[in-house]
């Protein structure tokens, strides 16, 4: 009887960890859509979001650049402002399902972009000093690892301080 229980438990465990064939094929065949660089952000329209009590930077998203792509990528312009007022600006994307981000372009002080052609997708690591991507993914744009379906949904999450379906919803 113990052997029968062990075999049943093992069979159930194997079914739980068995990869979903359709999901694997979908991921393998995934292709990123073409992108166009957005207008440079304007300070008066930025939406601030909370990252961590330990960061010395304030982080903002330009809501006019937020887009939920048909390829499952959430794209946006991110602004990081230091306590002295210096700003860094990036045009980025997050793949919710794979937990990765990509920088498409870096902003220059003259209000222009420097495209990063061929930039790789980078895993979002919650242990790094750059926790803004983790916050955006988990709290705002990818609740339960599912991408938001529209810019309006993401803007609402930013204004609320978190997506209502996020695990740590506020």
Query: Is residue 25 one of the residues assigned to a domain?
Result: no
Give dist(CA 92, CA 54) in Å, integer. 23
This prediction's pTM: 0.80
- CATH at residue 88: 2.40.128
Q: Which two tokens stand for residue 5?
A: 């229980």
In this structure, are residues 32 and 101 in contact, taking their beta carbons and an 8 Å threshold?
A: no
Q: Model confidence over 112-157: pLDDT tens digits?
A: 999 998 899 999 987 767 799 999 999 999 999 999 999 999 999 9
pLDDT tens digits, 56-100: 899 999 999 999 999 999 999 999 999 999 999 999 999 999 999
Question: 53 is in which domain, residue-wise?
Answer: 46-160
Q: Check residue 118 and give left, alpha or beta (phi > 0: left; psi -120 to 50: alpha).
A: left
Count of residues making up the chain: 170
Q: Is the residue at 55 inside a domain? A: yes
Residue 64 resides in a domain: yes
Q: What is the largest CA-CA distance in the chain?
A: 75
Q: Of 152, 132, 144, which Cα lies nearest the Cα of 50?
A: 132
What is the Cα gyration radius of the chain?
Answer: 19
State how many domains the chain has. 1
In a domain, 141, yes or no: yes
pLDDT at 149: 95
At residue 61's C-alpha, the angle toward residues 132 and 65, to 5°, is 130
Domain presence at residue 16: no
Closest CA to 48 of 57, 61, 63: 61
**113 falls within a domain:** yes
Give the list of residues 6+ apart from residue 169 with CB closer than 8 angstroms, or none.
Answer: 139, 143, 162, 163
> Would residue 12 count as lying in a domain?
no
Instruction: For residue 85, tell me if it sits in a domain.
Output: yes
């Amino acid at each position: 009887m113990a052997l029968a229980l062990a075999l049943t438990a093992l069979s159930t465990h194997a079914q739980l960890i068995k990869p979903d064939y359709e999901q694997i094929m979908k991921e393998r065949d995934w292709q990123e859509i073409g992108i166009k660089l957005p207008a440079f952000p304007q300070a008066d329209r930025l939406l601030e979001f909370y990252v961590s009590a330990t960061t010395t930077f304030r982080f903002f998203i330009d809501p006019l650049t937020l887009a939920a792509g048909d390829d499952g990528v959430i794209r946006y312009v991110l602004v990081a402002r230091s306590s002295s007022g210096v700003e860094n600006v990036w045009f980025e994307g997050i793949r919710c399902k794979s937990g990765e981000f990509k920088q498409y372009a870096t902003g220059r002080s003259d209000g222009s972009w420097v495209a990063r052609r061929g930039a790789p997708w980078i895993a979002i690591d919650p242990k790094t000093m750059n926790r803004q991507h983790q916050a955006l993914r988990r709290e705002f744009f990818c609740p339960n690892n599912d991408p938001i379906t529209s810019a309006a949904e993401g803007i609402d999450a930013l204004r609320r301080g978190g997506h209502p379906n996020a695990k740590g919803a506020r």
